Structure 1
Amino acid sequence: MSGLDSNPFVDPVDTNPFQDPSITQATSRASENAGEFNPFSATEMEPHTGKTIPISAASSQPAILETSVEQSARANAAAGQANLIKQQEELEKKAAELERKEQELQKRSAGRALNSGAKENNWPPLPSFSPVKPCFYQDFEEDIPEEYRGICKRMYYLWMFHSATLFLNVLACLAYFTADSKYGVDFGLSIVWFILFTPVAFVCWYRPVYKAFRSDSSFSFFFFFFVFFFQVAVYIIQTVGIPNWGNSGWISSISMIGTNLAVAVVMMVVAGFFTVNSVLAVILLKMVHAKYRNTGASFTKAQQEFSHGVLTNPTVQTAATGAATSAAQGAFGRSQGN
């Protein structure tokens, strides 16, 4: 019955795992070492009391990582500073360029004032033995600033092409007249247009634009625009070629194809010249207007220049003085008669 009294769920040998010899030996050594160490004892403090490390010996700059916000702010500030430096350099360049232009204009004005009596007219270039002397002075290199010199020369070349076209128009109208005697009016008017419009074009629209670019004159600019607009209209009329108007244009030349083909070809060539004149005139008018907008000219300045020119003109002053004297003498005579 003793076998029935035993508990089957109990281990037959009652063992304690912490009583293992290796474990008990290790724990005993650790407790001995812990009991022997005293951090506040004199023997343990002696090696550490020799010298203290001052705070200044440590790094004065703490290791702090910069955030992305600080980095982007610094980058933006650097970019803004570089942009400001670039803008300042551009402004300084523009100021230096303006100062240079102003000095050149002053030098040219001073040179013209000093040499106004010494300079002789050189246009048109006539031989020295000619009884007719030049009427104008013209020097692109000396009078016209470099930025306006090109457009001013193109206007001069346009005037030369204009004169050549009017001369060829006389020849075409002569052929027109030889083909049919009823077109003698066109031949006569073509001679008048050549003799009249060649010098008038030079005086009325080329010289004003030359003076405008030479002295930055607002009045000369406005006078040029007013006259040259009508010149463009005349070019268009000459290109069309209305019969009996003295122009060898497209209508007149096409009408001669059935009558005389050779004369028609000559007239068509001149009509092409008139067409080129019209196109070049429109292009150069736009180019001069673009240059005019950069010069700072205005209608108010033109009025001031006109008023100043009229008041200081010796001819106008003499005429005004004579008129005032005559009026005063007349009033004095009438007062004595009464």
Structure 2
Amino acid sequence: MAQSKDDGNPFGEGGELDNPFQDPAVIQHRPSQQYATLDVYNPFEAREPPPTYEPPVPAPLPPPSAPSQSSRKLSPTEPKNYGSYSTQASAAAARAELLKKQEELNKKAEELDRRERELQHAALGGTSTRQNNWPPLPSFCPVQPCFFQDISMEIPQEFQKTVSTMYYLWMCSTLALLLNFLACLASFCVDSSNGSGFGLSVLWVLLFTPCSFVCWYRPMYKAFRSDSSFNFFVFFFIFFAQDVLFVLQAIGIPGWGFSGWISALVVLKANTAVAVLMLLVALFFTSIAVLGIVMLKRIHSLYRRTGASFQKAQQEFAAGVFSNPAVRTAAANAAAGAAENAFRAP
């Protein structure tokens, strides 16, 4: 009887099923020297004793080096290193901030000293104890100073530069009028038909020099000294007219007594030297006109920041009028006369 294929040895060479113990996954886990298991481990097998403990050999010490920069002492003249660049920058910024605060404190101290001097003057009798010092005239002159002026004492710190600039502007305008007088005199010497211009130049020097000081410089000075809205309005009205006059002086209409551009060009045909002198005066007048317009705008901006107003100016004017003894006496006399006429009426 023939043997079936199923009755054959499954582990034989000719069997259909392979030997499971020949599987590569099983073969790689068989006991070996690399993979010791409990089956191959013999506890009674003689083994070599472990090596004796030996202490590690200490490493050699590094050679002595030069002392570091931080440990050595610095000489008195050697600059110190306070840290990195960022640290030095922050220290410099803090130092600059301290200097700025110190400057502000100094300004406040000067302002307090000025206020204290004003209070002392007021306690001693106000303006009656102060001696006038402007214009600075010698003691033997029969005419004495008419005004008291001290910008560093009477004007606040933030407005002193503006007031000083306006004072220099007035001085420059006076000097320009004197040069204009000389230029018109030279023009009259060259051409006798310019006599009217020379006469008017004399009038302008005598008229504009004191009037400009009294009419627009003093109101500006008093406006910044006492924060007076009324004086600000007076200054703006008169100084605007002064700026228009500066422009006319720079233009130099012939026969008006101003050595402006037109007058200089007319005289250029007659005499070159006199024309050059008149051109210099015209340039001077032009510079003054430009500076006057700039200062008018700057003072107007300062005026807007002070909180002044037209209503405040009206109040100051009314208070000033009624505080005047002459006005009060005249008003009282008028009221008494009206009352007497009312009683006499039938």
Q: TM-score, normalised by structure 1?
A: 0.69
Report the equivalent of 1:151. 162
2:122 paired with 1:113: yes
Equivalent runs, 1:20-39 vs 2, <5 Å: none
Return the alpha-carbon distance in structure 1 between the equivalents of residues 313 and 214 of structure 2: 19
CA distance in 2, matches of 1:271, 1:148: 31
1:242 and 2:253 correspond: yes
1:160 to 154, 171, 195: 171
1:213 and 1:104 mapped to 2: Cα distance? 18
Map 1:85-96 to 2 at 5 A: none
Which of 131, 137, 142 does residue 126 from structure 1 map onto? 137
CA distance in 2, matches of 1:100, 1:143: 15
The residue that corresponds to 1:209 in the other structure is 220
Do residues 267 (structure 1) and 264 (structure 2) align? no
Give the one of 309, 317, 325 matched to 1:314: 325
- Displacement, 1:291? 2.2
What's 1:11 paired with? Answer: 11
Please tell me whether the aligned partners of residues 137 and 145 of structure 2 are also in contact (alpha carbons under 8 angstroms).
Answer: yes
Q: How does 1:50-199 map to 2 (within 5 A)?
A: 107=116, 110-114=119-123, 115-199=126-210
- Tell me, in whole angstroms, the C-alpha distance in 1 between the residues paired with 2:179 and 2:30: 135
Q: Indicate how the Cα distance of structure 1 residues 213 and 287 shifts in structure 2: closer, same or farther if over 3 A, else same.
A: same
Aligned partner letter, 1:311: F
CA distance in 1: counterparts of 2:30 and 2:295, whole angstroms? 116
1:129 Cα deviation after fit: 1.5
| 1:310 Cα offset (Å) | 1.2
Q: Deviations over 1:138-188 (max 9, x none)?
A: 011110111111111110010001111111111111112222222111111
Q: Which runs of 5+ in 1 are unaligned?
A: 27-95
1:232 is the counterpart of 2:243 = yes
Tell me the distance in 1 between the aligned counterparts of 2:231 and 2:204.
Answer: 25
Alignment of 1:286 onto 2:297: yes
The SS at the match of 1:189 is: helix
Q: Distance in 1 between matches of 2:135 and 2:12?
A: 144
C-alpha distance in structure 2 between counterparts of 1:290 and 1:192, whole Å:
34
For 1:257, which of 255, 268, 271 is the aligned residue?
268
Quote the Cα distance in structure 1 between the aligned partners of 2:113 and 2:334: 42
SS in 2 for 1:289: helix
- How far residue 100 of structure 1 moved from its aligned partner, in angstroms, is 7.9
**Structure 2 CA distance for partners of 1:227 and 1:12, relative to 1, 3 Å:** same
CA distance in 2, matches of 1:265, 1:240: 15
Give how far 1:255 is off.
0.7
Once structures 1 and 2 are overlaid, which stretch shifts more, 290-299 or 255-264?
A: 290-299
The residue type paired with residue 291 of structure 2 is L
Structure 1 residues 251, 117: closer, same or farther in 2, change over 3 A? same
Counterpart amino acid of residue 212 in structure 1: A
Question: How many angstroms does 1:112 deviate by?
Answer: 4.3
Instruction: State whether residues 108 and 143 of structure 1, in contact with CA within 8 Å, keep that contact through their aligned partners in structure 2.
Output: no
Q: 1:235 to 1:6 in 2, by over 3 A?
A: closer
Q: Would you say the 8 A contact 2:156–2:224 is kept in 1?
A: yes
Cα distance in 2 between the residues matched to 1:223 and 1:129: 35
Q: Distance in 2 between matches of 1:109 and 1:309?
A: 21
Counterpart-to-counterpart distance in 2, 1:208 and 1:296: 18
SS at match of 1:148: helix
CA distance in structure 2 between the partners assigned to 1:330 and 1:5 by the alignment: 165
Partner secondary structure for residue 252 of structure 1: helix
Q: Deviations over 1:31-56 (max 9, x none)?
A: xxxxxxxxxxxxxxxxxxxxxxxxxx
- Contact persistence 1:185–1:244 (CA under 8 A): yes
User: 1:94-119 deviations in whole A, cap 9, x for unaligned?
Assistant: xx999989967864653442242211
Give 1:3 shift.
4.5
Q: Quote how far apart the aligned CAs of 1:124 are.
A: 0.5
Are the counterparts in 1 of residues 118 and 154 from structure 2 also a CA contact under 8 Å? no
User: Letter of the aligned partner of 1:113 in structure 2?
Assistant: A
Task: Work out the percentage of aligned pairs sharing the same amino acid.
Answer: 50
Q: Which amino acid is the alignment partner of residue 155 of structure 1? A: M
Paired with 1:104 and 1:216, the residues of 2 have a C-alpha distance of 19
Q: Which runs of 5+ in 2 are unaligned?
A: 32-36, 39-104
| Distance in 1 between residues matched to 2:206 and 2:164, nearest whole Å | 23
Cα distance in 2 between the residues matched to 1:104 and 1:296: 25
- Would the alpha carbon gap of residues 21 and 191 (structure 1) be closer, same or farther in structure 2, given more than 3 Å must change? closer
Aligned to 1:93: none
